[in-house]
Amino acid sequence: MKNIKLITDGSCDLSQDLIDKSQIEIVDIKVSFGERSYSTRDLTNKQFYEMMKEHSELPKTACPSPSQYIEAFECEEDNIIVFCLTSKLSGVYNCALLAKNMYEEEHGNKKRIEIIDTTTGSIGQALLISKVADMISEEKDMDEIVSTIEKLKGELVFYGTLHTLENAIKGGRINPIAGKIIGILNFKAIVHINDGIVKPIDKARGEKNSLNKVVQYMRDNIDKDKNKKLAIGHANCVEKALKIKEALESEYDFEEILVIEVGPAMGTYTSEGAILIASL
C-alpha cells in the first residue's frame, strides 16, 4: 500500500538515504541560543556543536507548532503516519495530536491520520520509521502497519554512553541526583532508553571502558532471531561510531547497519561525544 505518507519531527535522527528513499517529511524543531532561534535544518551538525562550545548556557528547543503539522497533512496521500518523540520527555506528541484534531474539524475524516507516540527518540525513532518504510514497500495496509508499530515499540533495544550528563540534567531529561553522583566521580554514564525514559544504569571510567560497556549491554539484549537492524548515532564523534560498528557487525548478521549523526534537537541533551546504539 503505497498511498501512505510518513512524517516525523526534527528530534528524529535519520540518514539522508532513508529520508530520500522513503520521502519522509520532517516537521522542524527550533533550537535557540539566547535570543537567536534556528531551525534544526538551518544549522549543520558541526556548526551546532561548535555553537554549543561557544555558549555557556544550554540551548533551548521548541516543539513544532500545530500549523506545521497541518501544512504537512496537506499532501496527496490519504493515509498519514506521524512518528513523535516520546511524550514523557516532550510536548511534540500533544502538538501533533492537536493538529490532527484541528485538521479533522475543518476537513472531516477524508484522510486517516495516525499519531504515534514512539516512546523513544533519535535513532530509536529512525529504526521504527525504517521498519515501516519496508512494510510500505511490501504494500502492507495501514491496519497491519499501525498494529506492528505498537508491537515493535516494545522490542526496541536502545542504550547509550554520554560523555557528560550536564546537558541532560539541565534539560530535565535525567534525574539530577543520579546524574550528579556520576558527574562528581568523573565517570562516563551508560544510559538505557526504555518506555520513553532515559535512565542512567551504569558508569565507566574513560572512553574505552564506556564504549566496551555499552557494547556489552547491546550484546546481552540483542535477540539474534528478531533484531535485524542496527543504528549507531554519534554526536560529532564518527570515529567512536565506527568502532562500535566494527565490534558488532562481526558478531551479528544484521540486514542493515545505519551510522547516523545526532542532530541539534537531541544533541542539545546528549552533548557532544555521545554514542547511541539501537537495534530492532
Chosen domain end from 153, 181, 215: 153
Residue 166's pLDDT is what? 60
Residue 218's pLDDT is what? 96
Q: Assess whether 176 and 117 both reside in one domain.
A: no
Q: Assess whether 227 and 109 both reside in one domain.
A: no
Give me the mean pLDDT over the 143-149 stretch: 96
Pairing of strands 30-33, 60-62: antiparallel
Lowest-confidence segment of 118-122, 148-152, 171-175 by average pLDDT: 171-175
Indicate the pLDDT class of residue 2, thresholds 50, 70 and 90: low
pLDDT tens-place string over residues 184-202: 445 788 999 999 998 889 9
Q: How far is CA 257 from CA 40, 112, 215, 254, in A?
A: 24, 32, 15, 7
Q: Assess whether 167 and 224 both reside in one domain.
A: yes
Q: Assess whether 14 and 147 both reside in one domain.
A: yes
Dihedral through CA 212, CA 214, CA 217, CA 223, nearest 10?
-100
* CATH code for the domain of 236: 3.30.1180.10
* CATH code for the domain of 15: 3.40.50.10440
**pLDDT above 70 covers what percent of the chain?**
91
Domains: count for the chain: 2
Is residue 44 situated within a structural domain?
A: no
pLDDT tens-place string over residues 27-59: 999 999 888 999 877 888 999 999 988 887 888
Question: Mean pLDDT in the chain?
Answer: 89
Q: Assess whether 181 and 99 both reside in one domain.
A: no
pLDDT tens-place string over residues 222-262: 988 887 999 999 999 999 999 999 999 989 999 999 999 99
Is residue 48 situated within a structural domain?
A: no
User: What is the reported pTM?
Assistant: 0.91
Q: Assess whether 16 and 81 both reside in one domain.
A: yes
Is residue 75 situated within a structural domain?
A: yes
Chosen domain end from 153, 184, 214: 153
Contact indicator for 188, 205 with CB cutoff of 8 Å: yes
Residue 141's pLDDT is what? 93
Q: Assess whether 83 and 68 both reside in one domain.
A: yes
Q: Assess whether 144 and 85 both reside in one domain.
A: yes
113 versus 3: the higher-pLDDT residue is 113
Is the pLDDT assigned to residue 175 strictly greater than 80? Answer: no
Is residue 269 situated within a structural domain?
A: yes
Q: Assess whether 138 and 270 both reside in one domain.
A: no
Chosen domain end from 104, 120, 153: 153
Is residue 208 situated within a structural domain?
A: yes
Grid cell at residue 38 = 534556528
Is residue 35 situated within a structural domain?
A: no
Q: Assess whether 122 and 84 both reside in one domain.
A: yes
Is the pLDDT assigned to residue 125 strictly greater than 90? Answer: yes
Q: Which domain holds residue 15?
A: 4-29+64-153
Indicate the pLDDT class of residue 146, thresholds 50, 70 and 90: very high
Q: How far is CA 79 from CA 118, 221, 265, in A?
A: 18, 34, 27
Contact indicator for 165, 200 with CB cutoff of 8 Å: yes
